[in-house]
Amino acid sequence: MARTLINLPPAPKQGDVIEVRTLIAHPMESGYRPGADGKVLPRDLIRRFSCLYDDGTSREQVFQAELHAAIAANPYLTFPLLVTGAGTLTLVWEGDNGFTQTESVALRLG
Amino acid sequence: MRAPHGVTLAQGPTRRNLLTAGAGLGAALLATRSVCAADLPPELAVAVLGFARGAPVREGRVALEIAELVENGNAVPVTVSVSSPMTASDHVVALALFNERNPQRDVFSARLGPRSGRARVSTRIRLATSQKLVAVARMNDGSCWSRSVDVIVTLAACIEGDG
């Protein structure tokens, strides 16, 4: 399990637009870089990130991103979200070599 | 009908004039259609036009925030935002960032919608060398908007090893 950081503003109100900030510990090995032995290190990337928002009435994907080799190691990604109710955000990172990680975070209204 | 010096007087626009005017108009239309793609290196233009799905890519509405002088290409903060009300009838469907001189043209692409509330995405990217970056947004009506920025990189992200 990779370490993740997820940051939401402390007490958003219904109708606010908030910024969700995420970070995951991952090397994002590009597949273009030689290692210590001179051989190119195999590619190991997070390819896809998505966020599902369950606001109490529906559970929908509200954001999705495709990441490529040009994303820096330990991918940091922020995205906007319209607060439509208290609920849960489910964040999913998927990548090479079968990498998947899912984190859920509660969204509480102020 | 003869003019005093033996030149045939033109009766309104001649066929030759019409043809050249028509060709000129066509060229002008083409130029406005691909105003963005024309300025881009071919490989980058292909990536941008692929994302636009054949729609004309116009300059504007998109903002690309990045330091113009990058000291470390391994992790460069970048923010792409689009001026859009993000309502059900008028919103950004997707936005993407492309680069000119990394090994691959794609940096990231993101899908947004009315539930985003605002079109603004930030991340940190790798830059192999000084180059041009292009952010493109596709709206729900199919129109595409872009913004390009040139950045200077003093320490490149590693492609050829740590040595």
Q: Does residue B47 sit within a domain?
A: yes
Q: Tell whether A70 is covered by a domain.
A: yes
Residue B10 lies in a domain: no
Q: Give residue A91's domain range.
A: 4-30+44-107
In chain A, residues with a C-beta closer than 8 Å to the C-beta of B107 are 68, 70-71
Chain A residues with beta carbon closer than 8 angstroms to that of B103: 30, 32, 69
Of A38, A64, A71, the CB nearest to B125: A71
Q: What is the pTM of this model?
A: 0.82
The arithmetic mean of pLDDT across residues B127-149, rounded, is 94
pLDDT for the residue B152: 95
Quick check: helix, strand or coil at residue B131?
strand
Is A35 within the bounds of a domain?
A: no
The total number of structural domains that make up chain B: 1
The residues, ordered by sequence, that sit 6+ positions from A33 with a Cβ below 8 Å of its Cβ are A40, A41, B158, B159, B160, B161
Percent of chain B with pLDDT over 70: 73
Residue the block writes with tokens 């309502």: B87
CATH number for B55: 2.60.40.2470
Place of tokens 């941008």: B48
Q: Is B107 left (phi over 0), alpha (psi -120 to 50) or beta?
A: alpha
pLDDT at B98 exceeding the cut of 90:
yes
The one-character DSSP state at B114 is G
pLDDT of residue B161: 54
Each residue's pLDDT tens digit, A11-38: 999 999 999 999 999 999 999 988 889 8
* Residue B38 pLDDT: 58
Range of the domain at B96: 15-153
- Confidence class for position B37, pLDDT limits 50, 70, 90: low
Q: Which of residues 17-56 of A touch B (CB under 8 A)?
A: 17-19, 30, 32-35, 38, 53
Distance from the B80 Cα atom to the nearest Cα atom in chain A, whole angstroms: 10
Domain total of chain A = 1
Please write the tens of the pLDDT for every residue from B115-136: 999 999 999 999 999 999 999 9
Domain assignment present for residue A39? The answer is: no
CA distances from A52 to A64, A80, A107, B60, B122 (A): 9, 13, 12, 30, 19
Out of A30, A79, A82, the one facing B121 most closely (by C-beta) is A79
- pLDDT (mean) for A1-10: 93
Please report whether residue B126 resides in a domain: yes
pLDDT given for residue B148 in this prediction: 93
B5 lies in some domain = no
In a domain, B43, yes or no: yes
Beta partners for residue A6, in sequence order = A22
- Please report, for the domain that includes residue A87, its CATH number: 2.60.40.10
Residue A102 has pLDDT above 60, yes or no: yes
ipTM beyond 0.90? yes
Contact predicate B62/B154, CB 8 Å: no
- The answer to whether residue B162 sits within a structural domain is no
pLDDT, tens digit (0-9, with 9 covering 90-100), for A31-86: 998 888 989 999 999 999 999 999 989 999 999 999 999 999 999 999 999 999 99
Which chain A residues are closer than 8 Å to B158 by Cβ?
Answer: 33
Residues 48-107 of A with CB under 8 A from B: 53, 60, 62-73, 75-84
Answer yes or no: do B120 and A80 touch at CB < 8 A. yes
